[in-house]
Structure 1
Amino acid sequence: MPSPPRADDAHPYLRAATAGVRHHTHALGRSALPEPADRSHLDVLHAHLTALLRLVDQLAGAARPPHPGAGRHLASAHTRLWQATAAVHDAFHLLPSTAADSSDCRPESLPEGPPFMTICQRHLATGHIVRRKTTPTDLDRPPHITACLR
């Protein structure tokens, strides 16, 4: 008789992505003089945040009918993730561009042609999803503080 699956085996892709982020954070923290963030780091971080945002959105939708309280908390997490994603996108445009990452919202000007999806295209596509489910007031609201019930 096969053993029941472990809880952490339910989403191996999420566990692998989290391990990748932890590894990158640990590698950056080990250097004596950490290098400042560059556009490529922020682009990858933005891609990770938008993927996480979509996952939280799906989980909130699934949790809302049977567990409305949990659904509301996940919806709040979705809003906060969008705010973090928007801040990373804004920071991306404040950094100077190099020849390797000079898309700057003009992918047609790249010598190798436009990439599959630039940070701005990804941000706009995700923004449409967020704005269909979230009001502008919710997006501007500061995060709430909750106490752990346990």
Structure 2
Amino acid sequence: MTSATPVSDAYPYLRAASAGVRHHTRALTPREQTAPPPADRVHLDVLHAHLTALHQLLDHLATTTRPPHSAAGRQLATAHTRLWQSAAAVHEAFHLLPSANDTATDAGCHPERLPDGPPVLTICQRHLAAGHVVRRKTTPSDLNTPLHGHTTTCSQ
């Protein structure tokens, strides 16, 4: 007799995070003629935290999947790289948005000048920590390579 976890009970935190993202996306969808407010630095900071957490999860899954299932592990490693590219773009967008304290536009990475002061883990510190993992496991050419072989159809 096996005691496999039912699919509905598997990975409850990941399912809850996905549900939260879906709920947030629906909340941003305009129901009337008014447009939703544009993204602000706080919103992008939280989104970056979510992306770097997913990045860490994909790193772990790619590492553990690759030995027994090399093709699947390579695909997860590719997803890991693409997710890093997304997190890097969100980090850049964060610095392009004005803060409450900005008098001039400065797109530099200055955690000490964040609107509410530097929190325990700023977006820049988080990004640098995730970047360390990326540089350890990914080549610069992989990071700059566009997605190859992507199709919108399922292969099975």
Count of residue correspondences = 145
Give the equivalent residue in structure 2 for 1:24. Answer: 24
Conserved? CA contact 2:85–2:143, under 8 Å: yes
Give the equivalent residue in structure 2 for 1:60. Answer: 62
Give the equivalent residue in structure 2 for 1:45. Answer: 47
How far did 1:9 drift?
2.2
How far apart, CA to CA, are the structure 1 residues paired with 2:30 and 2:130? 33
User: Is 1:148 matched with 2:154?
Assistant: yes
Conserved? CA contact 1:59–1:74, under 8 Å: yes
Task: Output the TM-score relative to the length of structure 1.
Answer: 0.88
Of residues 117, 124, 129, the one that matches 1:120 is 124
Give the equivalent residue in structure 2 for 1:129. Answer: 133
How far did 1:11 drift?
1.1
Conserved? CA contact 1:105–1:118, under 8 Å: no
> SS state of the match for residue 24, structure 1?
helix
Could you report, residue by residue, the CA deviation over 1:75-124 in whole angstroms, capped at 9, with x for unpaired residues? Answer: 0000000000000000000000025xxxx6233x5797631100000000
Letter paired with 1:16: A
Cα 1:50–1:27 change in 2 (3 A) is same
Q: Can you give the 5+ residue segments of structure 1 that lack an aligned partner in the other structure?
A: none
Conserved? CA contact 2:111–2:123, under 8 Å: no
Cα 1:2–1:59 change in 2 (3 A) is closer
How far did 1:30 drift?
3.2
Task: Output the TM-score relative to the length of structure 2.
Answer: 0.84
Equivalent positions of 1:99-110 (< 5 A) are: 105-107=110-112
How far did 1:34 drift?
1.1
CA RMSD of aligned residues (A): 2.2
Letter paired with 2:111: R
Paired-residue identity, %: 66
